[in-house]
Amino acid sequence: MSFGITDPHLTAMDDDDTPQGEGLGMEKLVREMLICIGEDPDREGLAKTPRRVDRAMEFLTAGYRANVEEVVNDAVFEEGFDREYDEMVLVKDIEFYSLCEHHMIPFFGTIHVAYIPDRKVIGLSKIPRIVEVFARRLQLQERMTQQIAGCLTDVLKPRGVAVVSEAKHMCMCMRGIQKQNSMTTTSAMIGAFRDRPQTRNEFLSLIRGNG
């Protein structure tokens, strides 16, 4: 495989930018798969497909090679916040794209993330980047939601964290039950969002646009 150290927040390289000779492991597997499904991997339209798939998979699974500490870097701030500060911080409608680990077929949607600080806050742009770290892996939506909540809890030690993800799974749309309009929602509530119904309801109202 040509998988190397990749920043998941960089724009994907063009499909044809991979130097010839790299990624031979993945390319060989894709070539064999094309033969198995009855295709000719040497025809013009497919000649570069193994290389393109290698590059695509490198990008789509970049979360395996990402380090949360490096992503967060110096973006956690303590100065100027009273210990009694308990206002909710919410970033909603974060787009994500991931691959279901059962079929390696995409699922995608939006994630809403909120936390209640205990003196520490994080740069707002880091929250979507944390989402990317966990989305760019073979995933279960349920696990990804828990991982994002757990990561923010570990980094900030806040009073509470809430994460809700809403996704469409192509494995349900393209195969199996073939229900194109179905959506899946998962949630993780930690601390104040689990213990205080008023706080949880405020969060849910805000992400529904009722706040």
pLDDT at 114: 98
Nearest 10 degrees: Cα torsion 36, 42, 44, 49? 60
pLDDT at 7: 44
**Mean per-residue pLDDT, 164-192:** 87
pLDDT at 60: 95
**Mean per-residue pLDDT, 101-108:** 94
pLDDT at 142: 97
Residue 164 pLDDT class (50, 70, 90 cuts)? very high
User: Is 9 annotated as catalytic?
Assistant: no
Judge whether residue 21 has pLDDT over 90.
Answer: no
Question: Is the CATH code 3.50.50.60 the one for domain 66-207?
Answer: no
User: Is 112 annotated as catalytic?
Assistant: no
User: Is 95 annotated as catalytic?
Assistant: no
In 38-173 the beta strands, taken as DSSP E runs, fall at 76-77, 89-100, 106-116, 121-122, 138-139, 160-169
How does DSSP classify residue 107? Answer: E
CATH of domain 1-65: 1.10.286.10
pLDDT at 172: 83
Domain-wise residue ranges, the chain: 1-65, 66-207
User: Is 103 annotated as catalytic?
Assistant: yes
**Mean per-residue pLDDT, 133-160:** 97
Residue 78 pLDDT class (50, 70, 90 cuts)? confident
pTM for the full predicted model: 0.84
User: Is 169 annotated as catalytic?
Assistant: yes
In angstroms, the CA 185 to CA 111 distance is 10
DSSP SS3 for 208: coil
Catalytic residue among 9, 22, 39, 171: 171
Catalytic residue among 32, 95, 101, 142: 101
Catalytic residue among 100, 112, 132, 139: 100
Q: Which two tokens stand for residue 69?
A: 């500490």
Percentage of residues in the chain having pLDDT higher than 90: 73
pLDDT at 211: 55
Of the ranges 22-31, 55-64, 171-180, the best mean pLDDT one: 55-64
Average pLDDT for the chain = 87
Catalytic residue among 27, 112, 132, 169: 169
Q: End-to-end alpha-carbon separation of the chain, Å?
A: 48
Beta bridge partners of 191: 160
In angstroms, the CA 24 to CA 2 distance is 7
Catalytic residue among 9, 103, 146, 166: 103
In angstroms, the CA 20 to CA 27 distance is 11
Residue 176 pLDDT class (50, 70, 90 cuts)? confident
pLDDT digits (tens, 9 = 90+) for 90-99: 999 999 999 9
Catalytic residue among 27, 58, 139, 141: 141
Catalytic residue among 78, 95, 102, 142: 102
User: Is 146 annotated as catalytic?
Assistant: no
Residue 15 pLDDT class (50, 70, 90 cuts)? low
